[in-house]
Amino acid sequence: MSFVSDMVTTKNKINFGAGPAKIPEAVMERAHEEFLEYPGSGISMLEMSHRSKDFAEVLNTTEKLLREEMSIPNEFEVLFLQGGATGQFSAIPLNLKNDKESADYAITGSWSSKSALEATKYININHVFPPQKPYVTIPDESSWRKDPCAAYLYYCANETIHGIEFPKAPETIDGVPLVADVSSNVLSRPFSFENHGAVFGGTQKNLGAAGLTITIVRRDLIGNEHPLTPAVFNYAKMMKHHSVYNTPSVYSIYITKLVLEWIRDNGGVNSLRERNQVRWKWG
């Protein structure tokens, strides 16, 4: 079934929320059609076991589509987690600290600020530039104070509250991996994984419904987690169990699958970028 549709919405409100955000009408129609029974399963996706063959197919298809649409390199693992992007504020330092004493953080708004505050429970934080309120711009990178011994350099690709978006990823030094929160601009334009160690985002903004967090981690960085890392945030454990160590957000994964199919059928990420550029000019 194709998702290419010129259907006119029957809703009487326009959702401009950053998240949960609008889901394509064709995706909503498809979810409606399959609500009582996922095709051929005899059961609703809401009732489906996460150990079932049908769900395994949905999960594998979702990962395949995401890899294709984001051009994810083979050396990265895709994890389907819970706890929101906020959960990753803890999971990132717990999994990536290793034997490092500190991590670099670029504070450009509310979300990166909250992430840094949470990370201070587990690792020393180096602000690569002094946080500047009100957040209105990103300081020139030549002025950043980066630590060549940092565990990682963290940035939020797009700050929804303050409206600050990185035009491109920061530069890294001495192999320090980048960590990006891409919750609000994932698949709005092409993304380069070059120099990145981890990329994550909640799906409720660009990839579907609330309740699912997608975390993409370079495999060589997995396996050195803090011994007190909770199992559901343990990248090595979740990788070993293909994201079903515990019951995942089954229905949210299904919705993300439908959204990714819709993106594919409507021209992919380059088409979405063109649409966004047109809307930006309207603004």
Q: What is the pLDDT of residue 6?
A: 47
How many folded domains does the chain comprise?
1
The tens digit of pLDDT for each residue in 29-64 reads 999 999 999 999 999 999 999 999 999 999 999 999
**Catalytic-role residue among 97, 104, 146, 205:** 205
Known catalytic residue: 53? no
Evaluate whether residue 61 is within a structural domain.
no
Evaluate whether residue 41 is within a structural domain.
no
Residues forming a β-bridge with 148: none
Evaluate whether residue 52 is within a structural domain.
no
The tens digit of pLDDT for each residue in 121-131 reads 999 999 999 98
Assign 7 a pLDDT band (cuts: 50, 70, 90).
very low
Evaluate whether residue 56 is within a structural domain.
no
Evaluate whether residue 177 is within a structural domain.
yes
Note down the domain range covering 170.
76-246
Strand order in the sheet with 102-105: 76-81, 213-218, 196-202, 178-181, 153-156, 102-105, 124-127
**Catalytic-role residue among 147, 181, 257, 262:** 181
Known catalytic residue: 280? no
For residue 225, what is the domain's CATH number? Answer: 3.40.640.10
Known catalytic residue: 144? no
Of 2-6, 68-72, 225-229, give the lowest mean pLDDT range: 2-6
The tens digit of pLDDT for each residue in 66-81 reads 999 999 999 999 999 9
Assign 133 a pLDDT band (cuts: 50, 70, 90).
confident
- As a whole number of angstroms, the distance between CA 126 and CA 147 comes to 8
Evaluate whether residue 173 is within a structural domain.
yes
- Average pLDDT taken over every residue of the chain: 92
Evaluate whether residue 148 is within a structural domain.
yes
Helix (H) or strand (E) holding 180: strand 178-181
